[in-house]
Amino acid sequence: MQPFVRKDIDQPRNPNYKKDIVYVTRHNKWVLNSLGVWPVMLKGVGKFLPKIAIGLYNLVLFFILMQCVLHVVFEQKDPVMILKVLGLICFIFISIMKYWALTARKSTIEYCIGQLYADWKQVEFQRDRKLMMKYGKLGRRLTMYSAVFMYCGGLSYVTLYAYVMQYAYESYVDEFNRTIKMLLYPTYSALYDVQKSPVHEIMYLLQCMCEYVSDSVTAGACGLAALFVTHVCGQIDVVMSRIEDLIDGKFAEEDTSLNVRLVEIVQHHIRTLKFSAMIETVLQEVCFFEFFGSTFIICLLEYYCIVDWEQDDKIGLTTYSLLLTSLTFNMFLLCYIGDLLIEKSTNVGITCCMIDWYRLPAKTIQDLILVIAMSNNPSKISAGRIVDLSLASFGSVLKTSFAYLNFIRTTVT
């Protein structure tokens, strides 16, 4: 992939920018490239590959979703099993919505990646590079944590539910004396006989693909938020370091006046705030579906764990516990990222107050007041501009899920 750069940028000042960019974006590229969301520069027939991948994955998700819906509407009568299939339906539906949101914002994602590339290319001082790399490493770790938890949860469902359950209940036969082969998701038997080969193998492959895409969309969205937000935090640290150096100018270019240093600080701060606003635009729909969808899905997974615990179903309890852990942790990461952005963006004003501002000219002090005023309205990530993502909102998700859990247990039992 060729780096996206702003046209107003000259030759790169950071000789290590290629290595730095690869380091902070590697895991995001792996996940989002497989979904066709990460912008790539391909020629010839290859430029259609992302569109083909997006179209194929949408068809698979819709096909599996409709199978589950038809099964619940026409075949399933057990209320507990209906609730279990309802959790699968919600998870697939939310994944489709998040996938659509990511693909609809692909051009904005490309712009943000271009801004990120340009910022890394124009790192002028080694001190600034260290500050950016500090948060670049944090974003890389958060992306890895999200991917590991989501893929481990999905893998546990694929292996434990499909294979272990099949061996554990291998004596299960239907009225026609046929051994029933397990699948990840229920199917609508009126369309075809899923127990015949190769229909069973094809359905299992499609369901595994559906599980991979669903997990990748969740991990990719969280990784993208971590990449962009930690980059903003690194830029804010650079701004704060320049504010601390505003009076003495030890780390600035030679022969720069106080006003020139202040102008550079304000320009850098405004550019960072604009980038934060673009991040909000990219992530607001994804975070909306993730926030409200996770609340309901976490509630259902909690109910599944209680039911399997009461029925002494160790395999089901293990599977749903891992899924519950992965989804809860991923929601926690998103809220932590949002809380980090709020906290960091308010620190600019605090830094302005902590320097020896009394040594500055009166006009410069007045200009700093404007910087403080901008930091009093911190940058945020919101769920559809309804709920700001923070650690407090994560607590609200858990409280709401427990409230729904009590309602479901009272209604079903």
Per-residue pLDDT of the chain (413 residues; tens, 9 = 90+): 444 444 444 566 777 888 999 999 999 999 999 999 998 766 666 688 889 999 999 999 999 999 999 999 988 888 888 888 899 999 999 999 999 999 999 999 999 999 999 999 888 888 889 999 999 999 999 999 999 999 998 888 887 766 655 555 544 555 555 666 778 888 888 888 787 888 888 998 999 999 999 999 999 999 999 999 999 999 999 999 989 888 876 666 666 778 888 888 999 999 999 999 999 999 999 999 999 999 999 999 999 999 889 888 888 888 889 999 999 999 999 999 999 999 999 999 898 988 888 888 888 888 888 888 888 888 899 998 899 999 999 999 999 999 988 888 888 76
Question: What is the Cα–Cα distance from 170 to 180, expressed in whole angstroms?
Answer: 8
Bin 35: left if φ > 0, else alpha if -120 < ψ < 50, else beta. Answer: alpha
Element (H, E) at 383: strand 382-383
Question: What is the Cα–Cα distance from 206 to 201, expressed in whole angstroms?
Answer: 9
- The amino acid sitting at 394 is F
Pairs from 61-64 (Cβ < 8 Å, separation ≥ 24):
61/92, 61/95, 61/96, 61/99, 61/210, 61/213, 61/214, 62/96, 63/206, 64/92, 64/185, 64/206, 64/207, 64/210
Phi, psi of 383 (to 5 degrees): -90, 90
Q: How does DSSP classify residue 157?
A: I
The whole-model pTM stands at 0.90
